Amino acid sequence: MMSGSIKSFFTTIPSMTMILLAFSLATVIEFWSFFTTLPSLFGIISME
């Protein structure tokens, strides 16, 4: 019984880390696009 739970534990951890990595990557991309579009938005506002 213990070996089964350990096996499931070792199979759940990689998927959890993959989900966390994908989530953090998406967040970084989101912030990156936000910070790259922000100056251009301010530039458009200041132009007018």
Ordered per-residue pLDDT tens for the chain, 48 residues? 567 787 887 788 888 899 999 999 999 999 988 888 887 777 776 666
Six token digits for residue 12: 């759940």
Residue 38's pLDDT is: 80
| Residue 17 CB partners (closer than 8 Å, separation 6+) | none
Written as one letter, the residue type at 3 is: S
Domain span at residue 47?
1-48
The model's pTM is: 0.51
Six token digits for residue 4: 């089964």
DSSP per residue over 1-48, as a string? -HHHHHHHHHHHHHHHHHHHHHHHHHHHHHHHHHHHHHHHHHHHHHH-
Count of domains forming the chain? 1
